[in-house]
A and B are shown apart, each in its own frame.
Chain A
């Protein structure tokens, strides 16, 4: 069966994979209406920084494993138990950090001196970092919350888009 690798399908697969990697709901990663479109920015960034070939290999691995529990799938893609992770896993880790922090970190082993040299890819990426949602908070200098929100406890984690089910991130 030939794989549909049109730009639209590739972007959709990247978004689905990103939901699995991050543990966030698809509605956050790939909203039905998406005026900011971070997923496209992140795919373009991954292509430019890691190379489209490696990104395609990672997406292909994700598609081949689709159907497994999301957490299992994420662990496999990230090679969480592998002391010498393959290059695709390093790319997966960089994509994961990109979604959480809005910064691209080189797809290199943690021991590499450049591993911690992240670059914020855009202002939208900074304020769109999932780390803020996971902390039930907002980025410094930019709040989507109404004035005085700090006087009340934050809404529950799932309302920030975190998939709190046992299955981890949703996809598809």
Chain B
């Protein structure tokens, strides 16, 4: 029996099963090493909006809309480069929607646009999502979507409603969480010797699934009988969304007009080893990294879109070519003997302000089809945001890439039983602020969103559908 695996998301999207069953397949285009920064420069001419690389009509290009795309809109060309473009457009449209100024109900306000203020900045939709520290409460208490925010006692005198609370190294070192990111490999320290801070938030759909299935507590997870299956986006229904953000404390050398900033309480809990005193300071923080994970019908493995502020780091090839700027958030161009992509030496004391700055370089691990697509979509996306307001801070953010499953499974929001990760493309993807020390191309070692999250389990040891947040339950 001849058997050809069909990609259900493409068949559904295109209505073209004959493409798979009747045509002679062309070999997949060859990947090539990337070189320049995907954040700012297009390496090859981009296909004009509305067309695919083959010149055929393609679905929606990047647009300014407060509507979060529920799934990917596919063009008619089936190849890694063409589909990467489709997924990257999805990423940009998702980014535009989650950075949109929020309406009172929580969604994007259609009467406003991102960056359309005198300062070029705005509060965002995603910052209204629920921080996981307010979902997995002490003693397994039932969370609420819009209830009070968990504020550490040391921060309470400084807290004002709406303020962000950012933590640092916690007491759960064996737990992958925003407090210990980037992973267990060490903290990320900026050029002003300040630790980078992290947070994870979930959208209403993901929150409601956790709540309705009592997955917010260990007790609830223990009695949960089914497989964890977060809702997939499709049609008019947005699926489960999880956003992970990295923030730097704004300081000397930082141009605030190039950052989305927020007032935050930067909290450092006390620890005994190493000795760290508890502290809480009100700071202005600037967004430096943003992961958006969205589970959709086309990708039960979720779609992983990762963005960075454009001044973060140079690429490997830019360093080799000596094409360096005078300032980066996480790279000192004057330092010739700084160890690259190495965590600072212990002890790690987040609030000492004396830790050596991390020297970070973005390794050129993306295949050509991915880096070229990101560069092309960044050109379009950044121009759109600049068009809203030449002062918009959002023009200074760019897509690194989007990781997606090339073999998502049999459909119906279900992954393959034998390859639940769905053979992701690109094979590796890292955000320099979130996976700083695990960049590379070694399978199961180097950063791959889907491969890593495919290992996630909740507190019972049962698989948790590509998210580690359920491990936070008490």
Contact = CB atoms under 8 A, between A and B. Distances in A.
Given A31-B423, A146-B420, A8 B444 contact: no
Interface in A125-158: 127, 133, 141-149, 154-155, 158
Nearest to A155: B417
A12 B27 CA distance: 7
B421 A147 contact: no
B424 interface: yes
Interface in B1-47: 1-5, 7, 20, 25-28, 30-31
Contacts of A123: 442-443
17 contacts: A27-B5, A33-B423, A34-B28, A34-B80, A35-B427, A37-B28, A37-B30, A127-B444, A144-B418, A144-B454, A146-B454, A147-B463, A148-B461, A154-B418, A155-B417, A163-B1, A163-B3
Contact of B27 (A11, A36, A142, A148): A11
A27 B79 CA distance: 15
B138 to A, nearest CB: 26
A170 interface: yes
Contacts of B7: 32-33
Contacts of A167: 1
B454 A32 contact: no
| Residue among A12, A30, A32, A163 with the highest chain B CB neighbour number at 10 A | A32
Contact of B418 (A40, A141, A148, A155): A155
Contacts of A160: 418
A35 B406 contact: yes
Say which size band chain B's interface belongs to: 35 or more
Those 3 A-B pairs whose CB atoms lie nearest each other, nearest first: A35-B425, A33-B406, A27-B5
Interface in B411-444: 416-421, 423-427, 442-444
B65 to A, nearest CB: 28
Interface of B is mostly: loop
B19 to A, nearest CB: 9
B121 interface: no
Interface in A1-54: 8, 11-12, 15, 25-27, 30-37, 40
Contact of A35 (B20, B426, B457, B463): B426
A149 B418 CA distance: 10
| Residue among B83, B418, B421 with the highest chain A CB neighbour number at 10 A | B418
B462 interface: yes
A142 B462 contact: no
A133 B427 CA distance: 20
Interface in B210-269: none
A159 interface: yes
B80 A33 contact: yes
Given A35-B367, A144-B454, 18 more contacts: A8-B27, A15-B27, A32-B4, A32-B28, A32-B78, A33-B406, A33-B407, A33-B423, A35-B31, A36-B427, A37-B31, A145-B418, A146-B454, A147-B455, A147-B457, A159-B417, A160-B418, A163-B1
Contact of A144 (B79, B420, B462): B420
Nearest to A14: B27
A81 interface: no
A149 B417 CA distance: 10
A23 to B, nearest CB: 13
B444 A35 contact: no
Given A33-B406, A36-B423, A141-B444, A27 B463 contact: no
Given A31-B423, A37-B28, A147 B461 contact: yes
A111 interface: no
Interface in B66-104: 78-80, 83
Given A27-B4, A127-B443, A33 B455 contact: no
A159 B454 contact: no
Say which size band chain A's interface belongs to: 35 or more
A161 to B, nearest CB: 8
Nearest to B446: A123
B420 A145 contact: yes
Contacts of B79: 33
A145 B415 CA distance: 11
B198 to A, nearest CB: 23
B456 interface: yes
B423 A35 contact: yes
A49 B451 CA distance: 32
Contacts of B416: 159
A165 B1 contact: yes
A124 interface: yes
Contacts of B464: 147
Contacts of A127: 443-444
A170 B425 contact: no
Nearest to A164: B1
A25 B5 CA distance: 9
Contacts of A163: 1, 3
A170 B2 contact: yes
A162 to B, nearest CB: 10
Contacts of A142: 443-444
Contact of B406 (A8, A34, A124): A34
A167 B78 CA distance: 30
Contacts of B3: 25, 27, 158, 163, 170
A158 B424 CA distance: 21
A33 B83 contact: yes
A8 B426 CA distance: 21
B419 A144 contact: yes
Contacts of A146: 420, 454-455, 463
Contacts of B420: 144-146
Contacts of B407: 31, 33
A155 to B, nearest CB: 4
| Residue among B1, B20, B416, B464 with the highest chain A CB neighbour number at 10 A | B1
